[in-house]
Amino acid sequence: MNQYYYMPTRVVMGDGCIGNNSKLFASLGKKALIVTGRHSAKINGSQDDLIKALDAEKIDYLVFDKIKSNPTIAIIYEGAAVAKENKIDFIIAIGGGSPMDAAKGIALLAAQNISEENLFSGSYENKILPMAFVPTTSGTGSEVTKYSILTNDKAQTKTSIATELIFPTIAFLDAKYTDKLSVEVTINTAIDALSHAIEGMLSVKSSMITNALAEKSAQLIMGCVPEMIKAIESPTAPAFSPQTRENLLQASFLAGVVIAQTGTTAVHAMGYSLTYFKHIDHGKANGMLLAEYLRLVEKERPDLSTEILLAMNLDNVDEFKSLIKQLLGEEQISQEEIKQYSEMAIQTANIGNCMVKPTKENIAEMFEQSLRCL
């Protein structure tokens, strides 16, 4: 099979990268819509730095700070209406995956009329507003992916707008904005990035390039695990060193580049139900399922599971499972939930993306082994 790699986002990294590169914003237009969450961007310094950079370039801006976790379809239509009314030239996202994914949808809908019916069709005109992204969690890698993942109440799951059109134009990666992330969000998001790296290695679209990036990402994240465990054990002590914050942000970015090429697999397909129905955080939902998927992979493709365990510097799946339990804790699931979520997961495109394709029975078994069964 031919291999394919495309990642058009310009990436600028390092301390002060927004202020030092303010001219890049001027290349995007004269009026920006800043899409962000309710609180964190105002507290972690990212919004202030951004506004200084926009002022320096005499760029006008408006703040749309209504994005909550797991953004809805309605909020992107609302944001797009604001962008159109105010003749916005480009979109800036600050925040975790939720504001970044919402910003992609807003940039698309502000440039063309797409009905809700056709929102996930994948067939759009070649028009979108430029986008500058500032990730403030280290997990989703949305700053370098072509996905906008939205809560889809009609389908009772999370559904992706997936198109190369929505690759952000520029990403600014400055780890100091992640300094104040809580221990819980830090760990959940890091494990989301680890899922991306591992699922990338298990995708039919994996390649020499994506495997190299995924292995590096997994190594970086595993190198931060001792600090994560220390942070759980002594919650009052200062949590993470600047180097760890930097490594997690880079790992998340690398894993984002990976899934932009490979997509995700069974783990994300299953995790979406845990988030939609049981409100389990996205990273935690995936993380709890990872070890059991790796166990299934081990049965059919031991070469793949060995490669992944080696990248994580672990000896076996059980060691991985107990580490994940220590980091994420446990959740419960009922037999009815397992039946419903397995039926939904088996129908997703992610399953076709798996090198080791689980059956519906395999999926049910993975849910049963990963969560505490009621």
How many binding residues for ligand NAP (CB under 6 A)? 32
At closest approach, how far in Å is the CB of 17 from ligand NAP? 15
**115 contacts: CB under 8 Å, gap ≥ 6:** none
Around 73, how many Cα atoms within 13 Å sit in the side-chain half-sphere? 18
Q: Are 131 and 104 in contact (CB under 8 A)?
A: yes
Q: Looking at 80-88, 108-116, 181-189, 229-237, which segment touches ligand NAP (CB under 6 A)?
A: 181-189
Among 130, 263, 283, 358, binds ligand NAP (CB under 6 A): 283
Stretch 31-50 residues interacting with ligand NAP (CB under 6 A): 37-41, 44
C-beta of 29 vs 45, nearer to ligand NAP: 45
Q: Looking at 154-162, 186-194, 245-253, 289-297, which segment touches Fe ion (CB under 5 A)?
A: 186-194
Rounded (10°) CA dihedral 365, 199, 277, 346: -60
Among 169, 189, 247, 273, binds ligand NAP (CB under 6 A): 189
**Residue 137 engages ligand NAP in binding (rule: CB under 6 A):** yes
At closest approach, how far in Å is the CB of 70 from Fe ion? 12
Among 24, 49, 75, 98, binds ligand NAP (CB under 6 A): 98
Q: Which amino acid is at 202?
A: L
**Residue 181 engages ligand NAP in binding (rule: CB under 6 A):** yes
DSSP letter string over 138-205? SS--GGG-SEEEEEETTTTEEEEEE-GGGS-SEEEE-GGGGTT--HHHHHHHHHHHHHHHHHHHTBTT
Q: By three-state DSSP, how is residue 13 classified? A: strand
31-37 and 60-67 as β-strands: parallel, antiparallel, unpaired?
A: parallel
**Residue 168 engages ligand NAP in binding (rule: CB under 6 A):** no
At closest approach, how far in Å is the CB of 160 from ligand NAP? 7
C-beta of 46 vs 362, nearer to ligand NAP: 46
Write down the H helix ranges in the chain: 17-20, 23-26, 40-43, 46-56, 73-85, 97-111, 183-201, 208-233, 242-262, 266-278, 282-300, 302-311, 317-328, 335-346, 349-352, 360-370
**Residue 192 engages Fe ion in binding (rule: CB under 5 A):** yes
C-beta of 10 vs 39, nearer to ligand NAP: 39
- Identify what 136 binds: Fe ion, ligand NAP, none; CB under 5 to 8 Å per kind: ligand NAP
